[in-house]
Amino acid sequence: MTPFTVNDTELSLERFPPVVEQQLQAWDAADELLVAQHQLDAGEIWILNDHFGAIAVGLRAEDEQRPLRWVNDSYVALQALEQNLELNEMAPLLSCHQQVEQLAEHGRPAGVIIKLPRNLRLLTNQLDWLNQHLPAGTPIVIGARQKDMPSTLPDLTRQLLEHVQPSRAVKKARLIYGHSGEQQSGLPLLNSWFCDEINQTVHNLPNTYGSQRLDIGARLLLANLPNCKGSVIDLGCGNGVLTAAMAKYNPQCDIIATDESWHGLAACKLNTEDHADRIDYQWNDCLSSVEGGSVDLVLCNPPFHQQQAVTDHIAWQMFRDAKRVLKTGGRLRIVGNRHLAYHIKLTRLFGGYDTIASNAKFVVLEAQKRRQELDY
């Protein structure tokens, strides 16, 4: 693995949480290119969607006096940034925010660096906001590996930016230089659709998981929700379809709805506001802030990728955390694609599982915590 080097300084960068067995890098060629060739004048830079803090750490290594503001929807990305600043003995940034709208009170930056998000609705929302709030002519640089650039990106950037100029490709990554203008996409902030399964409209922010339609795994889990009178966690709640259903049909339960995506959690709040007095909303990494042995039921439709990488380490972390926070006798009910073979993980952690429902593609499985164990 070649190191990420800025001004002859070799930087230490790790993913969060570290994924030792998969040898996944915490940066890519687009991060290197953004740091080396942003072409922004002296002054404050705003950094958007920097997955593991590599761009911020690289810019700090380039000029430690330059003020940096950082925006990322992801709690895990924030942990990665803090970890990597510390690993390189660098001071914290000027400020960190969850969404671009929170930058409203800050003055004009010298420029904006955007790492292309997986989700083009998020990019569109960010460019719309920058065009509304920055003086026309503020430089904006977008970077990505070529294989992550969708075919619609050139049209989108030409629609929303002035003087668009792509860079030459370096190590199969490319930058798109442009300037803010006055254009707006016309795309609404919320994407809303009616969900028959819970008989209500579901609102989604641009980076909410499943913002276009109900996830098919979630559909099977919704049809097989248990009854519960105690404490419930919706782990990785996204837009909160599971939280909403539990709150509606189980009036005696209290729920923790938690997600690492700020847009996920914000949508969950919108979709469950009728039951907000029974719901504790947490922006967090899995269940790191939940007390051990305190919960009756955990519901989970786990993700199987982190950024561009397909990985099962988040599912593992979710199942381990679930076991830790469950009371003895408490249950973890999950849904997953059959090919992910979650039953193997549940057997290793809980010693067994029941199949609650299945269809051609998905299974709903449940495991019970049989006894309090010291070693999780």
What is the rounded distance in angstroms from the CA atom of residue 224 to the CA atom of residue 255?
Answer: 18
**Cα dihedral sign for 226, 227, 229, 234?**
positive
Of 191, 174, 177, 69, nearest in space to 121 by CA? 191
What is the rounded distance in angstroms from the CA atom of residue 29 to the CA atom of residue 7?
Answer: 16
**Local structure of 111: helix, strand or coil:** strand
Of positions 28, 31, 260, 296, contacts ligand SAM by CB under 6 A: 260
Contact partners, residue 360, CB within 8 Å, separation at least 6: none
By CB under 6 A, the residues from 67 to 106 that bind ligand SAM are 76
Does 206 bind ligand SAM (CB under 6 A)? Our answer is no
What is the rounded distance in angstroms from the CA atom of residue 116 to the CA atom of residue 114?
Answer: 6
Of positions 98, 261, 272, 307, contacts ligand SAM by CB under 6 A: 261
Instruction: Tell me the window of 23-31, 81-89, 176-184, 260-268 that interacts with ligand SAM (CB under 6 A).
Output: 260-268
Of positions 58, 143, 238, 330, contacts ligand SAM by CB under 6 A: 238
Does 256 bind ligand SAM (CB under 6 A)? Our answer is no
Closest to ligand SAM by CB, 193 vs 352, is 193
Of positions 134, 141, 241, 244, contacts ligand SAM by CB under 6 A: 241
**Local structure of 80: helix, strand or coil:** helix
Does 245 bind ligand SAM (CB under 6 A)? Our answer is no
CB of 163 to ligand SAM, least distance (A): 35
φ/ψ (deg, to 5) at 105? -80, -5
> Which position has the token pair 């075919």?
151
Closest to ligand SAM by CB, 44 vs 197, is 197
Which helix (H) or strand (E) is 254 found in, with range?
Answer: strand 254-259
Does 296 bind ligand SAM (CB under 6 A)? Our answer is no
Does 303 bind ligand SAM (CB under 6 A)? Our answer is yes
Of positions 117, 210, 330, 336, contacts ligand SAM by CB under 6 A: 210
Of 160, 124, 158, 126, nearest in space to 48 by CA? 126
Task: Give residues in contact with ligand SAM (CB under 6 A).
Answer: 76, 209-210, 215, 218, 236-238, 241-242, 258-261, 264, 285-286, 301, 303, 314
